[in-house]
Amino acid sequence: MFVTNVFVQPWAVPSISRRERPAKPALSRDGIVAAAVEILRAEGIERVTMRRLAQALDSGAASLYVYVRDTADLHAAVLDELLGTIELTDDLHGLVRAYVDVLYAYPGLARTALVTRPSGPHYLALIERVLAVLAAAGLPGDRAAWLLDLLLLVATASAAEHSTRRGSATAQLEDDALAEALAQATPESFPNIAALGVDHLLAGPGSLRLQWFLDVLVNGGLSTPRPPPTGS
């Protein structure tokens, strides 16, 4: 209602002489995010936890909550920071690939990207550029918005799928299990699976496949009108 503390509070007075050691730098959102990126690079997203981060900052986990809403907020900020490194070209495939490359580079980050809506400046810059390219290609605005969503969805999901499996021992076991299950398909039990064979079904080179995925989205997006507003 009205200001009560006209007196200067003790904690507001910086103590005259206090410069002993390298000095623990004051906490700030930027500092926290920077430290988080460092941990991400060195140890992966799994280790970017409130507790681990506080430890790196020589602080307590509870202190971080002044600057960060929760873990999801933290991860979103980290992702946006990384998106700042991608080069904004005028080539749609190049843009999406650059985005995917960032996510591939940091296993586990893609998983959080699927779930946590980013809203940082670098993310905005990326979607602005994608929209510009789609507009230049003559795509109407409403469909451009949807195609943008679809492109980022596929890019993020591909990265999530891929990056989680890399280096994971149990992921290998899962693949083996699926390969064996597929191999046991007979022309009687699962004719179409048997006809294709394991080799075709277990995705080939990831890069070519992603290339084709993106081609499909662009070709399909350009040729597919919005469905009528009311369904049957």
Partner DNA sequence: ACCTGAACACCGTTCAAGT
Contact footprint for DNA (CB under 7 A): 9-11, 26-27, 47, 49-52, 58-63, 65-67, 70-72
- Closest distance of CB 70 from DNA, Å: 3
> Which long-range contacts (C-beta less than 8 Å, at least 24 apart) are formed by 163-171?
163/103, 163/104, 163/106, 163/107, 163/108, 163/109, 163/110, 163/111, 164/107, 164/108, 164/110, 164/111, 166/107, 167/107
Q: Decide which of DNA, its own copies, none touches 198; Cβ closer than 5 to 8 Å per partner kind.
A: none
Q: Decide which of DNA, its own copies, none touches 172; Cβ closer than 5 to 8 Å per partner kind.
A: none
Helix 121-136 and helix 141-165, axial crossing angle in degrees, nearest 10: 120
Q: Are 131 and 144 in contact (CB under 8 A)?
A: yes
Q: Of 66 and 196, which CB lies nearer to its own copies in the complex structure?
A: 196
- Closest distance of CB 60 from its own copies, Å: 22
Q: Decide which of DNA, its own copies, none touches 31; Cβ closer than 5 to 8 Å per partner kind.
A: none
**b/e per residue 170-185 (b: at least 16 CB within 10 A):** eeeeeeeeeeeebeeb
Q: Of 80 and 221, which CB lies nearer to DNA in the complex structure?
A: 80
Q: Decide which of DNA, its own copies, none touches 34; Cβ closer than 5 to 8 Å per partner kind.
A: none
Q: Which residue in 123, 122, 124, 135 sits closest to 92, CA to CA? A: 135
Q: Of 50 and 160, which CB lies nearer to its own copies in the complex structure?
A: 160
Q: Decide which of its own copies, DNA, none touches 132; Cβ closer than 5 to 8 Å per partner kind.
A: its own copies
- Closest distance of CB 43 from its own copies, Å: 19
| Residues contacting residue 116 through CB under 8 Å, at least 6 positions apart | 72, 73, 75, 76, 79
Q: Decide which of its own copies, DNA, none touches 88; Cβ closer than 5 to 8 Å per partner kind.
A: none
- Closest distance of CB 85 from its own copies, Å: 19
- Closest distance of CB 223 from its own copies, Å: 6
Q: Distance between CA atoms of 122 and 127, rounded to whole angstroms?
A: 9
Q: Of 4 and 223, which CB lies nearer to its own copies in the complex structure?
A: 223
- Closest distance of CB 57 from DNA, Å: 8
